[in-house]
Copies of this chain bind each other. A is one copy, B any other.
Amino acid sequence: MALRAAQAGVARIIGHSPTPSDGVAAARAGAVTELLQDVRGIFRRADFVVISAPPAATMHLLKRAAASQFGRGGGGGGAYLTDVSSVKRPFVERAAKLGLSANFAGSHPLVEAGQGGFRAARADLFVEKIVYVTTTPDSERASREVADFWHQVLEARPVTLDAAFHDSMVAWTRHLPQAAAAVVAATLGTHGPKGVTYGHETRSVTALAARQQDALAEVLLLNREALVDALQNVDRSLQELESALQTNDAQGVRDWLDAASKWRARLGS
C-alpha cells in the first residue's frame, strides 16, 4: 500500500513495522519517507492511518490510537483510520467504545494475504480489487474518506456496507471454505488410513489448509457466531448426503451432486 501511495504522489508516508529490516527495505524503495519506532508518533501526526496487522495486534493498536488522541489533533480537516482485517464488527465496536467512531471505518480488501514482507510487495496488488468498507451512522464521513483512499490511491473498488452484514457474508464466502478445508485435512490426518497414496482429489479439497496462517484462528474466533451458523448448514448437508447414501437413494445422491456441480460451474475458475 505504501509503495502504491508513493507512486500515486502522496508526499509524506510514515511507516512503522515490527520487523525493522522490512521498514528499511520500504524506505530504500521509496515506499515510505519516514520510519517511526513508536507508533504513537504516527497516530499523533498522520491524517490517514492504515493498520495492517493480525486481529489481536489491530485491537491493541486501536487502543494506542485512542490513547494518542487520534483525530483530536490540529489540522481541522479530520484524521481517518482504517484496518484490513477480514472480520469487521469486533473492530467497529471496539473503535466505537474507544470514542473513535467519527474517525474510523474498517476495510477488508479481497486479495490473498501477502506473505514475505516488503520483498513481496506489489504496487498493483489492489487494482480493480473489491474492498469492503464498513459504514455506521456515526462514521459516514470516515467511510467516505476511507473508500476514497482505496479508490483514488490504490485504484481498488470500494463497496461500503454494514459491519454485521459483512461478517455474516464473509463467514460464508471466506471463513467457511477455510474451515472446511481444515476439517477435511484434520479428519484425514487423524482418522484416515495410514501409508496410503492420497491423490489429486485430496490435494485439491485441502489445498487451503496447506498454508499455515497464524491469524486464521483469531479471525475465525472473532467471527465465530456467523461462522458456526454457516458451518451448521454444511453439517446438515453432510448428514443429508450420508442418509441418501445409507438408504441407497440413487436419485437423491445424483440430485445432490448435480446441485453442487451446477453451482460450482457458475462460479467459474
Contacts and interface: CB of A to CB of B under 8 A. Distances in A.
Interface of A: 110, 112, 130, 168-169, 172-174, 176-193, 196-213, 216-218, 220-221, 224, 227-228, 230-239, 241-242, 245-246, 248, 250, 253-254, 256-265, 267-269
A190 B263 CA distance: 9
A184 B219 CA distance: 20
A264 B192 contact: no
B206 A259 contact: no
A177 B173 contact: no
A167 to B, nearest CB: 12
A219 to B, nearest CB: 10
B208 A204 contact: yes
Consensus secondary structure, chain A interface: helix
Contact of A205 (B177, B198, B235): B177
A189 B224 contact: no
Contact of A201 (B178, B187, B190): B178
Nearest to A211: B261
Nearest to A185: B260
Most buried by B among A197, A231, A264: A264
B217 A260 contact: no
17 contacts: A173-B192, A173-B197, A174-B202, A183-B238, A189-B260, A203-B267, A205-B205, A205-B207, A206-B260, A209-B261, A213-B257, A213-B261, A217-B250, A218-B250, A220-B257, A224-B248, A227-B245
A186 B221 contact: no
A63 to B, nearest CB: 19
A188 to B, nearest CB: 7
A247 to B, nearest CB: 9
Given A203-B267, A235-B239, 10 more contacts: A173-B192, A173-B193, A176-B184, A177-B184, A185-B264, A189-B263, A191-B233, A204-B208, A217-B250, A228-B242
Contacts of A245: 220-221, 224, 227-228, 231
Given A260-B185, A260-B186, A201 B174 contact: yes
A268 B207 CA distance: 9
A263 B188 contact: yes
B256 A186 contact: yes
